[in-house]
Amino acid sequence: MMKIIFPRNIENFVESITPKPSKLNEKKVKAIILDVKKNGDSAIKRYEKKFGGATLDSLRLSKKEIAYAYSKVSKKEITAIKLAKTRLSKTETIIKNQLKSSKINIDGIQITKLFSPIESVGCYVPGGLARYSSTAIMSVVPAKIAGVKRIVVTSSPNKDGKLDPLTIVAADLSGATEIYKTGGAQAIAALSFGTKSIQKVDKIVGPGGPFVTLAKLLVSNNTAIDMMAGPTELGIIADNSADPNLIALDLISQAEHSSDTFCYLITTSSKFAKSVKQILEKKMKNLKRGKIVKNSLFKNGFIAVLKSENDVIKLANKLAPEHLEIISKNQNKISEKINSAGLLLVGKYSVSSASDYLFGSNHILPTNKFGKVRGSLSVLDFMKLGTKIKSSKTVLKKLSKYLEVITSAEELPNHYEAVKGRLE
């Protein structure tokens, strides 16, 4: 089960405990990308048959298939999807409304800063071990609010060649303009390079397992991506004032995503650590998705016991988890010192599993320590900050002598000649 560790050197511990990507996976993903780039739709259909057992005639969902999906979901499910969409829309709209274009005048040079939506995006929605209709909402809604014209959704079909109906409905209600039956690295390659059926996009967003995350990284020199998002990570900072049963439930809730999640507890109490471990072991006996949870927590999970609160904070910031829950007597004080988590959840009622759906925050979050440099997916990921400049001969003449000095120092004389030619 989960191991209890007493780290002595935090930097060394972080290096040793962090999951490493497989070189074998990288080789496989590269081969898939090159195949799709060369052979297009036929390669995609071959991989869908190989990995999921699906025999596909067409990749794009028809209007008839989308309409049929609505008949396969309940009214309760549609109500819940609409609520999640509404709550996220409110957050994203507030962010967008703060993005005001600006006009700046610097000694006669007019600079205009303009926010505008990008033209097209590909939203990857995982399939496979679970249904991820919520991810369709999280990726499509901010793109729609940003004003993106072409919003493409891809997701893995089942062995019958069908997509999850609730995922289809969530994507459609959120504003997707195209939905395709393909997942994995082959979907990422199609979005990046384009095929006969799937036109390439300007940016790819969304979470995924190791293959998808690697594929996004490998195509990023051809197509913009949002971030490294997956596999799931959950860190919990807790002390003996917390309920160990709740800590165990939270670790299980994120570990059930897949067998390669990275879930752990950081505490200063060895007694509390043992309590959580014992509760986890009891819960494993009769647990839904138990095999996945066991594999995940046994392979990557840990409970770290540190000497001080400062060490706890230091370790959490170094690990920079996707989600970080803080449940302790000093939770507010500790939260102010955390600067690297993808999502910070303070207090026992700010549970990570609820944030995945209905808090109004986005569950597409940075993993692999990228929480140090960015936060969740948002409308900002679908907007471009452009710059427009208008100068005059008078201003250019005024600046020319300084331009001559700098261009001479950099040994780029033709830069100055281009200016000088306008002043003669």
Which helix (H) or strand (E) is 259 found in, with range? none
Give the whole-angstrom CA distance, residue 190 versus residue 192: 5
User: Active site residue: 92, 256, 257, 323, which one?
Assistant: 323
102-106 β-sheet, strand order: 102-106, 109-117, 383-390
- Of the candidates 146, 185, 178, the one whose C-alpha atom is nearest the C-alpha of residue 66 is 178
Phi, psi of 206 (to 5 degrees): 120, 155
- Of the candidates 137, 119, 123, the one whose C-alpha atom is nearest the C-alpha of residue 191 is 123
Contact at 8 Å (CB) between 305 and 268? yes
Judge whether 309 counts as a catalytic residue: no
Judge whether 11 counts as a catalytic residue: no
Phi, psi of 318 (to 5 degrees): -70, -40
User: Active site residue: 233, 322, 325, 363, which one?
Assistant: 322
Give the whole-angstrom CA distance, residue 20 versus residue 171: 33
User: Based on the number of CB atoms within 10 Å of its own CB, is 271 exposed (0-12), middle (13-18) or buried (19 or more)?
Assistant: exposed
- Of the candidates 197, 214, 257, the one whose C-alpha atom is nearest the C-alpha of residue 233 is 257
- Of the candidates 207, 235, 240, 205, the one whose C-alpha atom is nearest the C-alpha of residue 220 is 205
- Give me the sign of the Cα torsion angle 175, 180, 186, 189: negative
CB crowding 213-240: b at 16 or more within 10 Å, else e: bbbbbbbeeebebbbbbbbbbbbbbbbe
Residues labelled as active-site residues? 322-323
